[in-house]
Structure 1
């Protein structure tokens, strides 16, 4: 039986994903008609992006699952028209990209590489960073991406503290949870990495009170979600010198407006939401595996928790 799979993303992404998705379906032995314009009532599965045209799922009366191409589902998890299972994107390409980006920027700040990049001719002033074993790194968020980053940094010698809403147990990492755990995690954070989901409970988790808990001259790295940070509070902490630097990849409004203070602050590095892109080849395999599971009556991988919002 041919399965109708609706691709709902931008036209540009269709040109990028069409081939890898069809290849992945073929590798799974699935007979799939992948299209952007199936009649809604004929669709078996929707491959979804918040930037795509399908936002009202009411007409998709026979759809068995909605499969997000994004790791974060906060933009869709509250959509009441989705009555089918909703899956998140968790794939090796996302994890590998995030590990590399986070590790690169942790090392950049640990080694004070910016000092050398911006060194004036003739400036031979030495600077000696502490060893990794002397620099505490805290990761807020110990989901798939947070755990991947923690396990990559650990062999480099950094003492890693992780915080999550629910208690985790990861070998070699100090895992904390709850309000008291958050306070302790922030106090240890000479370098703070934000990898929490965007939920009402995490909005503005970096605010005047939590910023005050960080060690002086702490660095903040945010490849997670823009709303995790109270922007005004972070800018004030940077201006006061409490926070040494912030490297930010995600923002409340994207693209970040040209007149935003982050662009013009000498203690802020802006990157254009590049830390972990959904990669067509690896994500297509995840989509194909989940469709195979759906057809075989097996549980879907990476179901969104609608009560928790991610």
Structure 2
């Protein structure tokens, strides 16, 4: 009964320490030192190895080391093996911090002030009260709900859009594609926290930008393929969008010379809005393993028909 970790090796060493402390009877291995493949029952990975079914004939659970699973090719994980996305609290905590930072930066015109500083220009910009800046969050799962909870404290009018209905205190919620235009028309700062699926790929496109109030801004902490780059740059050029904070891109790392690097109204970060924290992630994995052994429902289990 062995657990195999295949992701960032530096963090993997931390995982190993926590497993030795909290589950000394569960053997822990770091890829590529897999030992006997027949002993592997649990796999924690960012990108899983090929031929899972034949390589690990006794595999029982596969965990994504992150909150998303779009980096997985679902066809290589046999349907009888549960695929579990990471729900440990560190991911939500760091995502809330990042989105709060990004929303406040756009709300308080930080991108303009950075440009003014580079140009050595001292010019005031009129302050818009938070109560007049509407923030809309696309994706109201664990992370989206944590984000709107924190943003509420700043006094922003809050909206949320989701595939399925949600009810959240203090948030005007919309569900389904038919309600998306109404949601967008009331959103001054748009936050994308959607999972990447066939339905959401390219959703941040020219049609969507045209439905936002003129001069709206964007925070993308979903995935790079959500964004149609040519449509996005054109929207910035014509003033349909006033600025953006992007933590994700396609491809990653963003290549040298890409227009995002030098655009004065884009802030780019290297896909580190949130990170899995090893100590609490180990607790989550051990809890799911215990539930699996007892035959209970598994938190974070991916619905393969939806892709998340």
TM class by shorter-chain length? over 0.9
The answer to whether the 8 Å contact 1:4/1:38 transfers is no
Deviations 1:102-146 (A, max 9, x none): 001111111113344444598553323211111000001001111
CA RMSD of aligned residues (A): 1.8
Match of 1:289 among 270, 281, 287: 287
Count of equivalent residues: 302
Match of 1:85 among 82, 91, 99: 82
Secondary structure, counterpart of 1:21 in structure 2? helix
The answer to whether the 8 Å contact 1:21/1:280 transfers is no
1:34 is aligned to 2:66:
no
* TM-score of the aligned structures, taking structure 2 as reference length: 0.92
1:158 is aligned to 2:156:
yes
Stretches of structure 2 lacking an aligned partner (at least 5 in a row): none
d(CA) in 1 for partners of 2:294, 2:8: 30
Secondary structure, counterpart of 1:295 in structure 2? helix
Stretches of structure 1 lacking an aligned partner (at least 5 in a row): none
Q: Using the TM superposition, give the Cα deviation of residue 284 of structure 1 relative to its aligned residue in structure 2, in angstroms.
A: 1.3
Match of 1:223 among 216, 221, 224: 221
d(CA) in 2 for partners of 1:168, 1:77: 29
d(CA) in 2 for partners of 1:11, 1:171: 41
Corresponding residue number in structure 2 for 1:205: 203
Secondary structure, counterpart of 1:66 in structure 2? strand
1:188 is aligned to 2:182:
no
Corresponding residue number in structure 1 for 2:105: 108
Corresponding residue number in structure 2 for 1:266: 264
1:247 is aligned to 2:242:
no
Match of 2:168 among 155, 167, 170: 170
Q: Using the TM superposition, give the Cα deviation of residue 257 of structure 1 relative to its aligned residue in structure 2, in angstroms.
A: 0.5
Corresponding residue number in structure 1 for 2:127: 129
Corresponding residue number in structure 2 for 1:47: 44
Corresponding residue number in structure 1 for 2:12: 14
d(CA) in 2 for partners of 1:187, 1:302: 32
Corresponding residue number in structure 1 for 2:136: 138
Deviations 1:252-283 (A, max 9, x none): 21101112111121111110111011121121
Q: Using the TM superposition, give the Cα deviation of residue 55 of structure 1 relative to its aligned residue in structure 2, in angstroms.
A: 2.8
Q: Using the TM superposition, give the Cα deviation of residue 21 of structure 1 relative to its aligned residue in structure 2, in angstroms.
A: 3.2
1:95 is aligned to 2:89:
no
Alpha carbons of structure 1 residues 134 and 67: separation in structure 2 relative to 1, 3 Å: same
d(CA) in 1 for partners of 2:127, 2:14: 43
Deviations 1:270-302 (A, max 9, x none): 101110111211211111111122223322221
* TM-score of the aligned structures, taking structure 1 as reference length: 0.92
Q: Using the TM superposition, give the Cα deviation of residue 10 of structure 1 relative to its aligned residue in structure 2, in angstroms.
A: 4.3
d(CA) in 2 for partners of 1:229, 1:70: 20
The answer to whether the 8 Å contact 1:77/1:306 transfers is no
